[in-house]
Amino acid sequence: MLDIQKIRADFPILTQKVNGKPLVYFDNGATSQKPQIVIDAEVKYYQEINANIHRGVHTLSQLATDAYEISRGKVKDHINAKFAHEVLFTSGTTFGINLVANGFASILKPGDEVIVSSLEHHSNIVPWQMLCEKTGAILKVIPINENGELIIEAFDALLSEKTKIVTVNHISNALGIINPIKYIIDKAHAVGAAVLIDGAQAVPHLKPDVQELDCDFYAFSGHKMCGPTGTGILYGKEEWLNKLPPYQGGGEMIKEVTFEKTTYADLPHKFEAGTPNIAGGIVLGTAVDYLNNIGFENIQHYENELLEYATKRLLEIEGLKIYGTGKNKASVVSFNIDGIHPYDIGSIIDKLGIAVRTGHHCAQPIMNFFCIPGTIRASFSFYNTKEEIDQMVEAVKKAQTMLS
């Protein structure tokens, strides 16, 4: 059992008032709030050990380097990667996906196929479209059903020896649906295709085991899991990271530079050109520790309770429809009210202190599928409460009255 009040006390922002009302923060899918321990770690880094890493011989540089590499090790353990050098620090999920898509430009040939799904965030669509334009490869899309679930038979039918990479999210950002990624990975491997998993929405809710999943790449962001903004991780299997060319050139990623030829550094540095977000990388490790201390089993159990409660309470509202009604879901509820634009609801409940996301959630193909301009998305974290859900339901009812 989680002591929610104790946990809430870790997050200073949660005591704020917004528009004169106590803040109810249900936009966790966009970014999570940060516990004091994470904020303190960021300050401590700059106060005590700020120095550039990996090259300095002086003490501060070594301390900063050690802290950075310890953090990499924490992430490695957290996702159960085989080696720490398979864990690349990035600026976020988008960067990680672009790194892989860019690398595949040297692998794909005209007529090869890339499979994405209809549930993807734009950042897991556009880099692949760009890749296909560049290489002459063809983009194939796994469709969804009315519940917002991938039609898995359609995926099976899309797979062939032409498929070179399959890229899907672990959990849909717009609907909260958890995808059957183990099945997708195994099936894709059977035809020799690589698999990238966009884990941005998964890592706040669960602990991915990349070896058990056997995915080739797993990309996620730090800021959605209590870490600082501008941090992220790309996990890649060693063999793949060796195969892909570097993404950016610069310092740190080289072994030797002459004007005739440059040789690249070993993993992970080959993909970490330039001075990285040192503070962010170190503090991401603090965030991982924080979440593991609470425990992902506890988090999942409690968030499922919130999801069930919110679903039940919201459905009491007349004319309310939930999108993404598949069984396997994370704590996200995406909904609309009959005849009312989500923007109108969002604007009014904001006045009542409720922070939700409205719009297409950077997943326009899903909105087109349901023929809607967008939804209202409430995404819950382990620091949210049922009382807050009650407040949201009351706010939505008030908005509905005002708008109809």
Partner 1 sequence: MTIKEIQNEIIDEFSMFDDWVQRYEYIIELGKSLPLIEEKYKTDENLIKGCQSKVWLHGEENSDKIVFTADSDAILTKGIIAILIRTFSNQKAADIINADTDFIDEIGLKEHLSATRANGLVSMIKNIKMYALAFNAKNN
Task: State the catalytic residues.
Answer: 362
Nearest CA-CA partner of 320 in 403, 404, 397, 402:
397
Q: Which is nearer to partner 1, 71 or 358 (CB)?
A: 358
Place of tokens 């032409």: 162
Q: Which is nearer to partner 1, 19 or 262 (CB)?
A: 19
Measured from the CB atom, the residue of 42 and 350 that comes closer to partner 1 is 350
> Which residue lies nearer to partner 1 by CB, 124 or 358?
358
We find the least distance from the C-beta atom of residue 139 to partner 1, in angstroms, to be: 23
What is the rounded distance in angstroms from the CA atom of residue 241 to the CA atom of residue 284?
22
In the complex, least distance from residue 172 CB atom to partner 1, rounded to whole angstroms: 19
- Write down the least CB distance from residue 28 to partner 1, Å: 17
Question: Biggest alpha carbon distance in the chain?
Answer: 71
Identity of the residue, 26 or 302, whose beta carbon is nearer to partner 1 in the bound complex: 26
d(CA 403, CA 299): 36
Q: Residue 340 Cβ, how far from partner 1 at the closest point, in Å?
A: 8
Least distance to partner 1 from the beta carbon of 377, Å?
12
CB of 376 to partner 1, least distance (A): 11
CB of 324 or CB of 342, closer to partner 1:
342
- How far CA 262 is from CA of 271, 303, 374, in Å, comes to 14, 50, 49
Report the distance separating Cα 237 and Cα 241, nearest Å: 6
In the complex, the residues that contact partner 1 under the rule CB under 8 A are: 19, 340-344, 347-348, 350-351, 358-360, 373-374, 402-403
Q: Which is nearer to partner 1, 92 or 374 (CB)?
A: 374
Q: Are 306 and 328 contacting, i.e. CB atoms less than 8 angstroms apart?
A: no
* Nearest distance, CB of residue 321 and partner 1, angstroms: 17
Residue 94 CB coordination number (10 Å): 20
Rounded to whole angstroms, the Cα distance separating 333 from 377 reads 6
State which amino acid sits at residue 353.
Answer: G
The answer to whether the bond into 143 is cis (omega within 30° of 0) is no
